[in-house]
Chains A and B, each alone.
Chain A
Amino acid sequence: MQNDTPELPIFPLILSHAMRPLPLWPLSAGLSRLAGHILHRHPGINNRIDYYQDHVFLLDITDLPLFLTLEPRKARLRAFRRSAVVPGHDAGISGPLAAFLAMLHGQEDGDTLFFSGALAIDGDTAAVLALRNALDDAELDLAAELAELLPPIAGLLRAGLPGMQHLTGLCLQRGSAASERAW
């Protein structure tokens, strides 16, 4: 079988180490605010997640020192230390941050990442597919969502984004082809 795994960058170790002391409560509060903002602006996400809105989704971003859990109906995105036990969940996705961001921004296909071994799933497979399909249809741009949520830093984001993308190799915003929503 041909192994043609997409080459994905690993989140810089120094930045990962720097994240370790981050206090979990304010981090979770900030992440949940972002999740709530996105789910409010894109109601189609929860419509498509449908039966699985009450599920707990584990986002095991393997090159970060944290686990994240997403509860769509509560718009809750919480952080847990990787050194602790894996948080309880109904469905889980694991892989490097680059895979999550590339999939979210429409740069990489979720199935391709999964079948190449870059992403792994566990638990309720149907729920994972519902979440993936819902996010794919939403055509999210995380940088734009952050700028919308925090107008004072919008200028800083715009100025710093190209450098951050270059430094980390991560896909931090939606591709140019999809940036103009047609309808």
Chain B
Amino acid sequence: MELVCPAGTPAALRAAVDAGAHSVYCGFADATNARNFPGLNFSRAELEAAIDHAHARGAKVLVAINTFPTAGEEAIWHAALADAARLGADAIILADPGLLAHAAERHPGLRLHLSVQAAAANPDAINLYARHFGIRRVVLPRVLSVEEIAAINREIDIETEVFVFGGLCVMAEGRCALSSYATGQSPNMNGVCSPPDHVAYTSEGDDTVARLGGFAIHRTPRGAPAPYPTLCKGCFVSGERQGHVFEDAVSLDASRLIPALARAGVSALKIEGRQRSRAYVAQIVSAFRAVTDALAAGREPPALALARLAEGQAATTGAYAKRWR
């Protein structure tokens, strides 16, 4: 199985390749990239050097151009596509149907992957993208069980890629109305449900309070472990109950389900975390590479102990092996 690893910076890309990534995904430092965060991402020159570095070591580079073009400013997205193709990207990860149509028409040799931001979660939707735009792979939303993924794979002819580690969106990907309500920003366009400029941490008494768009999400004793500041994993008062009313403050770790995902027909395993450091990338990638190598050799995969690196320092197998409350 192909291990698809995150890189928010050239240093993280080198760390991923050195740690054994089969593929690395990254994006430009502009609005075409859903993870357009402060201090992250690649210039054209940096991407060119990164692709040379990865190719020299047998790894692929997938470029995420996964936001939805703003009306009248399509040229920015078209230029990003053309530059990624010119620089030798092995595939482009796209979400917008208009941009997919443009890519299929203007760059017919380019391998296209459907971003998770497109939220294509059933065979009809996936086959439509494959038929009209020639996508070769779909990144599945993190809301499907292993059995549902197997059923989808029986009805489609393209590859499937699934998330196995990192931040866990429990909504229709990128369409969280809760986040839009709190921040006034679309997660689809800004790539995150907690934009950093809307997150604030303040000390109140002996506690640290995390707020998003002015709304308190959780309160933890200073120095204690804190969850990621997303609304769906916040601790709220609802009626007489106080707790995580939407989802526990956990992130995804499906490492022990990888054999089942392989049997379900999954081709590629994605690690989330372009916003994380090169230290995180190196540790996670080498751990998951040990699993894919063991599987390829017919050995029992090693058990991974990665909770420390998970957002919120606690992990779940997510929808792959659980049901909603």
CA gap between A125 and B280 in the complex, in Å: 20
Q: Which residues of B contact A134 (CB under 8 A)?
A: 39
Is A83 interfacial (CB 8 A cutoff)?
no
Within the complex, the shortest CB–CB distance from B166 to chain A, in Å, comes to 11
Indicate if the CB atoms of B313 and A178 lie closer than 8 Å: no
Q: Which residues of A contact B224 (CB under 8 A)?
A: 3, 117
Indicate if the CB atoms of B9 and A115 lie closer than 8 Å: no
CA gap between A178 and B249 in the complex, in Å: 33
Which residues of chain B in 164-190 are interfacial with respect to chain A, using CB atoms and an 8 Å cutoff? Answer: none
Q: Which residues of B contact A1 (CB under 8 A)?
A: 225, 227, 249, 312-314
Indicate if the CB atoms of A4 and B307 lie closer than 8 Å: yes
Is A132 interfacial (CB 8 A cutoff)?
yes
Is B228 interfacial (CB 8 A cutoff)?
yes
Indicate if the CB atoms of B279 and A107 lie closer than 8 Å: yes
User: Given A1-B225, A130-B39, A139-B11, A120 and B208 touching (CB < 8 A)?
Assistant: yes
Within the complex, the shortest CB–CB distance from B227 to chain A, in Å, comes to 7
Max chain A C-beta neighbours (<10 A), residue from B12, B200, B225, B276: B225
Indicate if the CB atoms of A120 and B201 lie closer than 8 Å: yes
Interface size on B, residues (CB 8 A): 48
Within the complex, the shortest CB–CB distance from B272 to chain A, in Å, comes to 12
Is B270 interfacial (CB 8 A cutoff)?
no
Is B309 interfacial (CB 8 A cutoff)?
yes
Indicate if the CB atoms of B226 and A3 lie closer than 8 Å: no
Indicate if the CB atoms of B311 and A115 lie closer than 8 Å: yes
Q: Which residues of B contact A116 (CB under 8 A)?
A: 225, 308, 313
Indicate if the CB atoms of A129 and B196 lie closer than 8 Å: yes
Indicate if the CB atoms of B225 and A112 lie closer than 8 Å: no
Is A49 interfacial (CB 8 A cutoff)?
yes
Q: Which residues of A contact B6 (CB under 8 A)?
A: none
Q: Which residues of A contact B70 (CB under 8 A)?
A: none
Q: Which residues of B contact A133 (CB under 8 A)?
A: 8-9, 37-40, 275
CA gap between A70 and B101 in the complex, in Å: 47
Is A90 interfacial (CB 8 A cutoff)?
no
Within the complex, the shortest CB–CB distance from B208 to chain A, in Å, comes to 6
Indicate if the CB atoms of B307 and A103 lie closer than 8 Å: no
Bitwise interface map of B from 18 to 48 toward A, beta carbon under 8 Å scored 1, else 0:
1000000000000000000111100000000
Q: Which residues of A contact B249 (CB under 8 A)?
A: 1
Is B78 interfacial (CB 8 A cutoff)?
no
User: Given A107-B279, A136-B11, A121 and B38 touching (CB < 8 A)?
Assistant: no
Bitwise interface map of A from 122 to 155 toward B, beta carbon under 8 Å scored 1, else 0:
1011110111111011110000000000000000
Q: Which of A109, A121, A137, A178 contacts B309 (CB 8 A)?
A: A109
Q: Which residues of B contact A120 (CB under 8 A)?
A: 201, 208, 222-223
Indicate if the CB atoms of A109 and B39 lie closer than 8 Å: no
Q: Which residues of A contact B37 (CB under 8 A)?
A: 129, 133
Max chain B C-beta neighbours (<10 A), residue from A49, A52, A125, A127: A125
CA gap between A183 and B18 in the complex, in Å: 13
Bitwise interface map of A from 3 to 27 toward B, beta carbon under 8 Å scored 1, else 0:
1111000000000000000000000
Within the complex, the shortest CB–CB distance from A125 to chain B, in Å, comes to 5
Q: Which residues of B contact A138 (CB under 8 A)?
A: 11
Q: Which residues of A contact B53 (CB under 8 A)?
A: 182-183
Q: Which residues of A contact B12 (CB under 8 A)?
A: 136-137
CA gap between A155 and B278 in the complex, in Å: 29
Closest Cβ neighbor of A137 among chain B residues: B9
Give A residues with C-beta under 8 Å from B.
1-6, 48-52, 103, 106-112, 114-117, 120-122, 124-127, 129-134, 136-139, 177-178, 182-183
* A to B CB contacts below 8 Å, 11 in the list: A49-B39, A103-B279, A111-B276, A112-B313, A115-B226, A115-B311, A116-B308, A117-B225, A120-B222, A129-B275, A178-B15
Give B residues with C-beta under 8 Å from A.
8-12, 14-15, 18, 37-40, 49, 52-53, 195-197, 199-203, 208, 220, 222-228, 249, 275-280, 282-283, 307-309, 311-314
